[in-house]
Amino acid sequence: MNKVLLCSCLLLTTSVVQATPISLDYQGFYQRMKQMNKGNYSLIDIAFSVPKDDGCVIESGSITTEKRNYPLTVSADQRLYIPFDETLKSERALINLQMKNDATRCGVAMQIRAKSPSNEYSQAALSELAMQMDQLLKQMQGFPMKYFADDIAGLSFEFADKAQVTIDGKVEQVDGIYRLPSENISVLSTISFSETPKVVSPWVKSS
């Protein structure tokens, strides 16, 4: 995978080599969520998903322990809604994904993103959002987060289609992705969008 694209989208991919179905230890997900929950990160969340590249389509999901079986909610864009639960960790739960096709080249992606994207932000709101994302990234430093040791380069806004971005009255047309550098955030007053972004995430450049 191209490292620049990987870092720009902030997708941390863990390769899965098993054929369908696949099972992953819950503990790995729990540890990432614990890092976020112990900090003051009211504006951001961690999202786990399976990109649909290479025919990686999820048919169903579940969370299992030796004695119990729970349904796993999977969205249309294959986000995995994994609960933060100490009991599941202590019972060594597994995240099970039934894939439609062979899962050899599939992976689970982790993305830091805004909890509630808005169609308008003030400079103060953007700065606080970027600061929380930057602090969480620093908290997660170390392998395999080694590429993210530097400060984030700004914020990335993902739209379902083409959108119009307005910064202090200046209008710009974008197609899918709009990246706002940190130096621009520090000098703008307001930014608004013709539609609410699907995802607001850190923009991280590779070294």
Looking at every residue in the chain, the average pLDDT score rounds to 86
Total Cβ atoms within 10 A of residue 48: 21
Angle of helix 26-37 relative to helix 123-139, nearest 10 degrees? 130
Which one is predicted more confidently, 11 or 29?
29
- The tally of domains found in the chain comes to 2
Picking from 112, 147, 182, the residue at the C-terminal end of a domain is 112
| Chain segment 100-117, per-residue pLDDT in tens | 988 888 889 999 999 999
Do 147 and 192 belong to one domain? Answer: yes
Do 150 and 79 belong to one domain? Answer: no
Do 7 and 106 belong to one domain? Answer: yes
Picking from 112, 145, 162, the residue at the C-terminal end of a domain is 112
Do 89 and 143 belong to one domain? Answer: no
Q: Which residues contact 130 (CB under 8 A, 6 or more apart)?
A: 152, 154, 155, 182, 185, 202
Secondary structure of residue 95 in the 3-state scheme? strand
Do 195 and 128 belong to one domain? Answer: yes
Q: What are the beta bridge partners of residue 158?
A: 177, 199
Do 91 and 74 belong to one domain? Answer: yes
Do 48 and 124 belong to one domain? Answer: no
Do 72 and 10 belong to one domain? Answer: yes
Q: Which residues span the domain enclosing 180?
A: 119-203
Do 104 and 8 belong to one domain? Answer: yes
Do 107 and 142 belong to one domain? Answer: no
Tell whether the model's pLDDT for residue 5 goes beyond 50.
Answer: no
Average pLDDT over residues 135-152: 66
Q: Taken in order 6, 7, 11, 17, is the CA torsion positive or negative? A: positive
Chain-centre distance for alpha carbon 114? 9
Picking from 52, 82, 112, the residue at the C-terminal end of a domain is 112
Do 140 and 86 belong to one domain? Answer: no
Among the residue ranges 7-11, 81-85, 158-162, 170-174, the one predicted with the least confidence is: 7-11
Is 136 exposed, middle or buried (CB count within 10 Å of its CB: 0-12, 13-18, 19+)?
Answer: buried
Position 87 scores a pLDDT of 96
Do 101 and 129 belong to one domain? Answer: no
Tell whether the model's pLDDT for residue 144 goes beyond 80.
Answer: no
